């Protein structure tokens, strides 16, 4: 799949090293507590799978799936839950795991929705942060890498549901995605 990539931003080794650091930080911050990790499908799957193996505190995990809208309507902030978590998070220490925070609308929706369920605490951990694209002010509590305004794929992130299996995080060649990028981005 090398031919579709314009540039590799983070190698598998760089990702693994950063995930290890994040896991160590989270383990330290939650020492003596039990966590409920909520992974946001589908993009956070690979990140979450690696990260939880670096977290030393006891945890349970669940998955949530949301859908947001593409370029033409993203300013409306319409996000909806497609699949909710099965567990109650009341009085639990919750850590939401997202692949990337871009405009911030998805993360804000998740934080607002989950905080209404009265967790003991609620924090967010994202692999990638694209602060230049923010539409609302939101800062993830844990963040793997800050990236410029580039559309990236790999390590769980997709373009039109493809390229999620790439072990690195890469920028696609413009000709790969120039024709699309509107409509519903199902499942994130």
**Catalytic positions, written as ranges:** 102
Here's the x/- map for ligand IMP, 132-161, by CB under 6 A: it reads as -------------------xxx---x----
Here's the x/- map for ligand IMP, 60-79, by CB under 6 A: it reads as --------x-----x-----
Q: Does position 124 bind ligand IMP by CB under 6 A?
A: no
- Residues contacting 18, CB < 8 A, separation 6+: 10, 144, 145
Q: Does position 101 bind ligand IMP by CB under 6 A?
A: yes
Q: Which phi and psi (to 5°) does residue 44 adopt?
A: -90, 0
CB 2, min distance to ligand IMP, A: 18
Q: Within a 10 A sphere around the Cβ of 36, how many other Cβ atoms? A: 21
**Site residue total, ligand IMP (CB under 6 A):** 19
Which listed residue (9, 10, 37, 106) binds ligand IMP by CB under 6 A?
Answer: 106
In the chain, the N- to C-terminal Cα span, in Å, equals: 22
* Footprint of ligand IMP (CB under 6 A): 43, 68, 74, 98-107, 151-153, 157, 185, 188
């Amino acid at each position: 799949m090398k031919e579709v990539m314009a540039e590799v931003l983070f190698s598998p080794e760089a990702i693994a090293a950063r995930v290890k650091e994040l896991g160590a930080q989270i383990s330290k911050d939650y020492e003596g507590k039990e966590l409920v990790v909520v992974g946001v499908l589908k993009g956070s799957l690979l990140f979450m799978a690696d990260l939880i193996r670096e977290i030393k505190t006891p945890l349970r995990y669940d998955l949530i799936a949301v859908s947001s809208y593409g370029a033409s309507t993203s300013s409306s902030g319409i996000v909806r839950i497609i699949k909710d978590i099965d567990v109650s998070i009341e009085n639990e220490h919750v850590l939401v795991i997202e692949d990337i925070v871009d405009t911030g609308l998805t993360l804000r929706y998740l934080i607002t929705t989950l905080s209404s369920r009265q967790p003991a605490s609620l924090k967010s951990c994202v692999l990638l942060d694209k602060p230049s694209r923010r539409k609302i002010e939101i800062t993830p509590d844990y963040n793997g890498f800050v990236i410029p305004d580039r559309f990236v794929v790999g390590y769980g992130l997709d373009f039109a549901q493809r390229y999620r299996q790439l072990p690195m995080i890469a920028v696609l060649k413009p000709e790969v995605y120039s024709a699309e990028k509107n409509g519903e981005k199902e499942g994130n």
